[in-house]
A and B are shown apart, each in its own frame.
Chain A
């Protein structure tokens, strides 16, 4: 027998540490598919690929504007290098992926933001891709669902970045006037200019459990108004309680919830 020859050791990746509850989770207990901590139910951030996997019907996704890339118009120092580095690291061209897909056979336009790419910040490309996706949805008379994840406007693009707020909002207004459905799903984190524009303009606004949703950061607000903010401030649950959003959803159920809403609203405006 060879027992006792191999020295006991802990193989790499056996434990996963949850950054939220700080508990160590056994790899097989961890919900890889949904990226949810089994101990504290923290919905950890999902990248675009996995978001699509758990949302869209298999093989139904067709991407729009896949080759649109960012140009450093303001010659912001090191911005181009940063973008190139992130392109290599994430395999994405920008912080949002748009396209059309099916959810339980309901056709729709989808936009998914990825916080790995400069914290999902909204620059010209992000705003343009989202606007075009909305316009495509209007044109094709389809509902649009946007999974938001963003730190807000992109600093490196200055005023161009802020313009995206008005542009996306205007596109949504036309979509709404045409009688079509828009459902944003706010995921962790949804803040700044994204919150102040398309994230909050949905017909029905969903949010993932525990997601941070806000405009300015907690510390900024506390220092500005010189008051201590309440427990759970800027969480999805807090926002639901205060009437900013319509429903908090467990990530495992999002596909079913969206599918039901698409079913109910498939008639559009009459």
Chain B
């Protein structure tokens, strides 16, 4: 096994990875920016290296400094976590060139899945259902209009390089198409420096269902069931649960095998997630693959008993996957609430600052993945997520009750948080009854 791993990330995911490494007897190297000096991941790691100034470009995205830190500390592998460099194929290939194992897929796989129109093409070839739409990039408005006419309105106009909802617009009819297309295009050019666009059918009020994939370097691919991530605000996930209430055993097996097929088609290895849209009629469509560990991975860990980070490290080292598909059993129900330092009253504006008091819930089946502690200063430079509250119980009903009780115990003083907003979601009848889709937040908040 690796003797030493460098974690090229910060926050709760860095803490999560360091913990897994400790359990595996692997030494850890944390990297941090100047403002993260007092962060938990820095304290927990065996070694820590400052890699630059607060701005992500200067630190957590600074490939040169991260590679240098790895070589200087003698780490053999880099775990990129999520965000930052986790889906940066250039980083993966530089690691390879330097003889450092990138704990994730190869640069080629990242490229294949990172570009949305490319990924779509690959999936069509592999026989994976995709949302009907343009075969490749859309050249111009005329081209786009023709395609929209063919697949029928409403349509979604998307940037090939897009993410996080940027460079994305819906057109409900022909009249609205042109302005939606132009806005999405210019937004994409600004945000990603690329304005390659494609058009697809807009699946109205779908559920966002994703399948967790685990694969080794010898072609063994399994799925660990689904996560329902439909509770989203502006395409940002807020609350996730597993399994999904609307997915039967048969549908899970079917979607799962399609997800496995999708991963196999690119000879994928490492952990990954295949995201689908599921409509009212039970039709599902591939939307994208995330070639990294995800924020919401703990709910899958709780219902399957499989430690995804440990498995990811093992397959990266070159171990063969010991778990077979038939070994994967879904046990009970898990829910995750993302706790963000933000102000829901003020359009969810980030709320950095010092945490003056912190009371964390506990008990059987309650898990908290977080980097915060009492007195911790949340810097304004990064994502506002400060904790993940995760619960596990036998049934969905019990899990919801457990989450309600746990979140009631959670107290964070000094900064604004979305705790009350999460409570609001948990108390909606539609949520409790499992009748919700990606429009849930928009419909309940307005």
Given contacts A3-B317, A3-B318, A28-B90, contact A11 B64 (CB under 8 A): no
Does A228 interact with chain B (Cβ within 8 Å)?
A: no
SS class, residues of chain A in contact with chain B: loop
Pick the contact of A4 from B71, B76, B90, B217 — CB < 8 Å? B76
Distance between Cα atoms of A1 and B314 in the complex (Å): 12
Q: Are B64 and A7 in contact (CB under 8 A)?
A: no
Please indicate the chain A residues that have their CB under 8 angstroms from the CB of B130 in the complex. Answer: none
Q: How far is the CA of A1 from the CA of B97 in the complex (A)?
A: 17
A10, B76: Cβ atoms closer than 8 Å: no
Q: For residue B442, give the distance in angstroms from its CB to the closest CB of chain A.
A: 40
Given contacts A24-B64, A26-B90, A28-B90, contact A10 B71 (CB under 8 A): yes
Q: How many residues of A contact B (CB 8 A)?
A: 15
Q: Known interface pairs A4-B2, A4-B76, A7-B99. Does A26 touch B94 (Cβ–Cβ under 8 Å)? A: yes
Residues from chain B with Cβ under 8 Å of A3 in the complex: 76, 101, 317-318
Determine if A1 and B318 form an interchain contact, defined as CB atoms under 8 angstroms apart.
yes
Interface residues of B in 49-76 (CB under 8 A from A): 63-64, 67-68, 70-71, 74-76
In the complex, chain A residues whose CB is within 8 Å of the CB of B99: 6-9
- Residues of B close to A28: CB separation below 8 A: 90
B271 at the interface (CB under 8 A from A): no
Given A3-B101, A14-B94, A14-B97, are A8 and B70 also a contact pair (CB < 8 Å)?
Answer: yes
Contacts of A14 in B (CB 8 A): 94, 97-98
Q: Is B100 an interface residue (CB 8 A)?
A: yes
Closest B-chain residue to A6, C-beta based?
B99
Within 8 A of A (CB), among B84-111: 90, 94, 97-101
What A residues does B90 contact at CB under 8 A? 26, 28-29
Chain A residues with CB below 8 A from B76, complex form: 3-4, 8
- Say whether A15 faces chain B, with CB atoms less than 8 Å apart: yes
B75 in complex: contacting residue of A8, A9, A29, CB < 8 Å: A8
Chain A residues contacting B71 (CB-CB under 8 Å) are 8-10
The 8 Å CB contact of A11, one of B98, B217, B318, is B98
Total interface residues on B, using CB and 8 Å?
Answer: 21
Partner of A10, one of B68, B101, B217: B68
Query: Which single member of B63, B64, B98 contacts A8 (CB below 8 Å)?
Result: B98
- Are A26 and B317 also in contact (CB < 8 A) when A8-B70, A8-B100, A14-B97 are? no
CB neighbours (8 Å) of A7 from chain B are 74, 99
User: How many Å lie between the Cα of A10 and that of B70 in the bound state?
Assistant: 10
| Minimum C-beta distance from B21 to chain A (A) | 15
Cβ-defined contact, B64 with A4, below 8 A: no
Please name all residues of chain A whose beta carbon is closer than 8 Å to the beta carbon of B317 when the two chains form the complex. 1, 3-4
Residues from 101 to 136 in A contacting B, C-beta threshold 8 Å: none
List chain B residues, Cβ under 8 A from A10.
67-68, 71, 98
User: Which residues in chain A, 1-34, are within 8 Å of chain B measured between CB atoms?
Assistant: 1, 3-4, 6-11, 14-15, 24, 26, 28-29
A-to-B contact residues, CB < 8 Å = 1, 3-4, 6-11, 14-15, 24, 26, 28-29
8 closest residue pairs by CB, A with B: A1-B318, A6-B99, A8-B100, A8-B99, A24-B64, A3-B318, A8-B71, A4-B76
Q: What are 9 residue pairs bridging A and B, where the CB atoms are less than 8 Å apart in the complex? A: A1-B217, A3-B76, A4-B2, A4-B317, A10-B68, A10-B71, A15-B64, A26-B63, A26-B94
List 4 additional contacts besides A1-B317, A26-B63; criterion CB under 8 Å.
A3-B76, A4-B76, A8-B75, A24-B64
